A and B are shown apart, each in its own frame.
Chain A
Amino acid sequence: MTSRVALLSMLLAVPGLPSSRAADELPAFKIVVNADNAGSAIKRETLADIFLKRSTRWNDGVATAPVDQSLTSRLRAAFSSRVLHQSPAAVHNYWQRQIFSGREQPPPVKPTDAEVFGFVVARPGAIGYVSEGAILPSGVKELKLVE
């Protein structure tokens, strides 16, 4: 009986994604942009629109260039939950629909904070998220997230 319960528990765990238990302990993150960005804060809705590519321009006309972290990372789960108000799987589904209907491509994925920084430094309109404790290199600044 115990082994059957264990098997069922194993089958009901979400493969490939952070578990629901882990969702309660999601890590904190901060929003980073290229240092040329004129802003100091960004509304959650605006940030969501940029990451879902519903808004493709900053106020000054520069093209937005969002960068994501790995689909299976807990940092992305935290960002998806707090900013997009959706699970990573739901956001993945949204992008699959956009891709195969020929409408839009998802943001590029960078697996580490260091690679996100590299992407942001290289593009004036870039925006990403990194671990709260990450030390910002030159050419990158933090935007305050406003709910």
Chain B
Amino acid sequence: MCRTLLLLAGLTAVALSCAAQDATEVAIHAFGSSLYGKTNGNSYAVGDEEGRYGNSQLSLNLSAKLSDKLRITGQTAFNQTSDGVQPALDYAFAEWRFSDALKLRAGRVQQPFGLYTEVFDVGTLRPFAILPQGIYGPVGFTAEGYDGVGLTGRWHSSSGWALQYDVYGGGVELGPDAILPGGGEEEEEHGTETVRNSIGGRLVIETPVQGLSFGASGYSGQEEDERHTVYGAQAEYVSGPWSLRGEYGHLVSRSTTHAFYFEAARRLGPLQAAARFDWYDAKSVDEPLPDPSLGRHKDTAVGLNYWLHPSLVFKLSYHHVVGNRIARPAAEDLADVLAARALDTRTNLVVVGAQFSF
């Protein structure tokens, strides 16, 4: 922890020193959140039955433009967990610009998948405090980054159409709990999974209608002895007070999974009302699940936000969840609960908190 902080402070000092000595452009930004979540039983996202306060997070983003063509960008996150504050490297990469339509990236880069993966923890860029868990939860669809090389660029026409693309290759590190739960000790053995030798990409088409875009993403690689293939589709319309988003994802690995969500939000001055339906269904390829509900997830949510400033928002949301793929007893209790046939398939979650960025 101290070493990471010192390293970050050192890098910042070096970057600022470089900026002071020549024309290097250095920018420092940050975002964070502090959330409280309480459920009526199962653990789900940021909440549990006791009421969980330990959901605070701060990320620092540092970008240095070293020349007209070369830019270095990095982001470090500090997450509050039950073991204290844990630092993590979100990404660190160099980008070489050949033109607006062709840029080469190398290092640990945010995985370009769907609408939210690149801004996974930035709460001011979404209407709900937590992302739709069916696609962005611990289910194996996405990772925050890939380690490798990629190309990105954007073309636009004078008629208002634009095309943004990403292609990449490397390793994709999925989060913990990315596979279907088997229950008990077996589940605890599964930590972070890496999808090796992955290739992937994303294509987003921006239409002449301001704020309306469509896209598709996908990647495929090797996860131990299994092929891990994910693809998805996205649509977004953000205009004036309205924001409408929807995504579909399909995963083929040790399980076959389908998921989608649709969310709508409307601003009224500083207030924002939001609603979302999030659906997920998975079937294990290898063996039947201990309980069918462990492969299902359906989250119906409503939220109300108050924007004090475009950089600071207070959020309140209520989630009603059916299924135990993500909302379930703590890992150490799961086997006992299954044995007692006491699995509660319905979970209610209330989330309240603040999110900021600058």
Interface range on chain A: under 10, 10 to 19, 20 to 34, or 35 or more?
A: 20 to 34
B59: chain A residues at CB < 8 Å are 100
Give the docked Cα–Cα distance between A102 and B61 (Å). Answer: 9
Give the docked Cα–Cα distance between A40 and B75 (Å). Answer: 41
Give the docked Cα–Cα distance between A56 and B98 (Å). Answer: 12
Known: A100-B119, A102-B110. Is A93-B310 also a contact (CB below 8 A)?
yes
A87 (CB) vs chain B CBs: closest residue: B240
Q: Mark B154-165, 1 if CB is under 8 A from A, else 0.
A: 101010101000
Q: Judge whether B309 and A15 touch: CB under 8 Å.
A: yes
Q: For chain B, residues 42 to 99, give those with C-beta under 8 angstroms from any C-beta of chain A.
A: 59, 61, 63, 65, 68, 73, 75, 91, 93, 95
Q: Is B190 an interface residue (CB 8 A)?
A: no
Q: Is A16 an interface residue (CB 8 A)?
A: yes
Q: Judge whether B310 and A11 touch: CB under 8 Å.
A: no
Give the docked Cα–Cα distance between A9 and B332 (Å). Answer: 50
Instruction: Give the total number of A-B pairs whose CB atoms are below 8 A apart.
Output: 89
Give the docked Cα–Cα distance between A17 and B59 (Å). Answer: 26
Whole-angstrom distance between the Cβ of B116 and the nearest chain A Cβ: 10
B91: chain A residues at CB < 8 Å are 102
Q: Is B122 an interface residue (CB 8 A)?
A: yes
Q: Judge whether B109 and A102 touch: CB under 8 Å.
A: yes
B13: chain A residues at CB < 8 Å are none
Q: Is A112 an interface residue (CB 8 A)?
A: no
Q: For chain A, residues 1 to 58, give those with C-beta under 8 angstroms from any C-beta of chain B.
A: 11-17, 20, 45, 49, 54-57
Q: Judge whether B125 and A97 touch: CB under 8 Å.
A: yes
Q: Judge whether B68 and A63 touch: CB under 8 Å.
A: yes
Q: Is B187 an interface residue (CB 8 A)?
A: no
A-B contacts, 18 of them at CB < 8 A, read A12-B269, A14-B270, A14-B307, A15-B309, A16-B308, A17-B309, A17-B310, A45-B160, A54-B156, A86-B210, A92-B310, A97-B125, A99-B63, A100-B61, A101-B118, A102-B61, A105-B25, A105-B65
Name B residues whose Cβ lies closer than 8 Å to a Cβ of A: 25, 27, 29, 31, 59, 61, 63, 65, 68, 73, 75, 91, 93, 95, 100, 109-110, 118-119, 122, 124-125, 152, 154, 156, 158, 160, 162, 210, 238, 240, 268-271, 307-311, 357
Q: A54-B162, A63-B68 are in contact. List 9 more A-B contacts (CB 8 A).
A: A12-B269, A45-B160, A71-B310, A86-B210, A100-B29, A100-B61, A100-B75, A100-B119, A103-B152
